[in-house]
């Protein structure tokens, strides 16, 4: 599939085992490109400063910064 047509995904999940399962699942599906893997909301926001994605899959309960707080900051335009 042409890279221009791939759906670019960011994944934020603090559980390493679940993050691995999701990564493997997404890598087997055509049409998706997993660009970001983060273990908390702050790391996700840090990565989103440099990388454009189409979809963010994010855990709600994470250490450092939870998914709800990260989504609110991203929508407000505050990435720090």
> pLDDT tens-digit profile of 2-61?
666 899 999 999 999 999 999 999 989 899 999 999 999 999 999 999 899 999 999 999
What's the order of all strands across the beta sheet hosting 55-58?
A: 32-38, 7-12, 55-58
Rounded distance between C-alpha atoms, residue 36 and residue 20, angstroms: 13
Return the pLDDT at 75: 87
pLDDT band at 70 (very low <50, low <70, confident <90, very high): very high
Return the pLDDT at 68: 93
pLDDT band at 77 (very low <50, low <70, confident <90, very high): confident
- pTM of the prediction? 0.84
């Amino acid at each position: 599939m042409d890279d221009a047509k791939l759906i670019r995904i960011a994944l934020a999940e603090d559980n390493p085992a679940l993050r691995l399962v999701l990564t493997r699942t997404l890598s087997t599906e055509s049409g998706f490109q997993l660009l970001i893997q983060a273990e908390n909301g702050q790391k996700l926001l840090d990565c989103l400063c440099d990388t454009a994605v189409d979809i963010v899959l994010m855990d709600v309960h994470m250490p450092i910064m939870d998914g709800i707080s990260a989504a609110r900051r991203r929508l407000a335009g505050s990435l720090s």
